[in-house]
């Protein structure tokens, strides 16, 4: 099955750092999913979890990844990135197919 997402080098390094230093059990994988919409549309979720029967499993650059089958189509083409700023840091989901909005 086609891997629906990509992970940037910065995000990959941060995920591997978390896995190595935050006592994530070896049997846990990175779970990527979506949460229901509302006015703001969908939101995306990252966390560590044990595999379940309804999961699709992928290996992305040595990171074991889980995606629930029902979330697969919503994640197709998404890219996970990691940013560090002066006041915030965290993971972001970017759809490279959608041009970035430039405020004027």
Fold classification of 5-94 is Hypothetical Protein Aq_1857; Chain: A; (2.60.300)
pLDDT at 64: 96
- Nearest-angstrom CA–CA distance, 44 and 48: 14
pLDDT at 103: 47
pTM (two decimals) = 0.84
DSSP string, the chain: ----EEE-HHHHHHHHHHHHHTT--TT-EEEEEEE--STT--EEEEEEE---TTEEEEEETTEEEEEEGGGHHHHTTEEEEEEE-SS-EEEEEE-TTSPPP---
pLDDT at 39: 64
Domain ranges of the chain: 5-94
* Sequential pLDDT tens for the chain (104 residues): 788 899 999 999 999 999 999 999 999 999 999 987 666 677 899 999 999 999 999 999 999 999 999 999 889 999 999 999 888 999 999 987 765 554 44
């Amino acid at each position: 099955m086609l891997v629906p997402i990509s992970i940037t080098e910065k995000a990959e390094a941060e995920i591997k750092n978390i896995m190595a230093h935050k006592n994530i059990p070896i049997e846990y994988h990175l779970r990527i999913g979506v949460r229901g919409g509302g006015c703001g549309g969908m939101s995306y979720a990252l966390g560590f979890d044990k595999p379940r029967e309804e999961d699709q499993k992928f290996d992305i650059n040595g990171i074991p990844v889980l995606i629930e089958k029902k979330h697969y189509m919503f994640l197709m083409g998404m890219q996970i990135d990691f940013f560090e700023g002066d006041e915030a840091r965290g993971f972001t989901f970017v759809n490279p197919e959608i041009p970035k909005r430039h405020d004027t």
